[in-house]
Amino acid sequence: MSKRIFSEEQVKELLGNKHVTRCSEKSTTYHKDFKLLAIRQYQDEGWSANHIFKEAGFNLDVIGQDTPRYRLRDWLNLWKKKGAESLSKEQRGGPGRRHGLKDLTDKEKLKYLEAQIASLKAENAFLAKLRKKRLN
């Protein structure tokens, strides 16, 4: 997450852009259609991330010069891994979303839970060793 804090005026400016669905002093949520458009312009037309955001009416002095590149990278990765629908879902964690099992496939859940079990077994073995050393 960026350390950039938007002023009240900057938040209003960002909310005035049709490609923004939400904006607070700490974060901006972009519309799914903009994300797809940005991916298409980047891949098919060879536009740079900064050019895409400028053409969409964003002030790079407000959002940051590096933000377009990082957002586009994230959107491309999501789109490649999970498809276009993933771009309309909130990806940030929220209350109760520590591990995000709800969003995983059965195969991914199994892999995650097996890793958890292995980690807990290793932790138990380590603690048992410590107890044994203490008693001796």
Tell me, what's the pLDDT at 30? 94
Specify whether the CB–CB gap between 55 and 48 falls below 8 A. no
pLDDT of 69 higher than 80:
yes
Same structural domain, 56 and 85: yes
pLDDT value at residue 108: 86
**Residues 82 and 127 both lie in one domain:** no
Range of the domain at 132: 96-136
pLDDT band per the 50, 70, 90 thresholds, residue 17: very high
87/118 same-domain check: no
- Structural domain total, the chain: 2
- State pLDDT tens for residues 78-118: 999 888 888 886 655 544 445 567 777 888 888 889 999 99
Q: Note whether 106 and 64 are same-domain residues.
A: no
Say if residue 117 is in the same domain as residue 86. Answer: no
CB distance 108 to 88 below 8 Å = no
54 shares its domain with 119: no
Asked if 82 and 113 sit in the same domain, the reply is no
With beta carbons less than 8 A apart as the criterion, state whether 119 and 111 touch: no
56 and 5 assigned to the same domain: yes
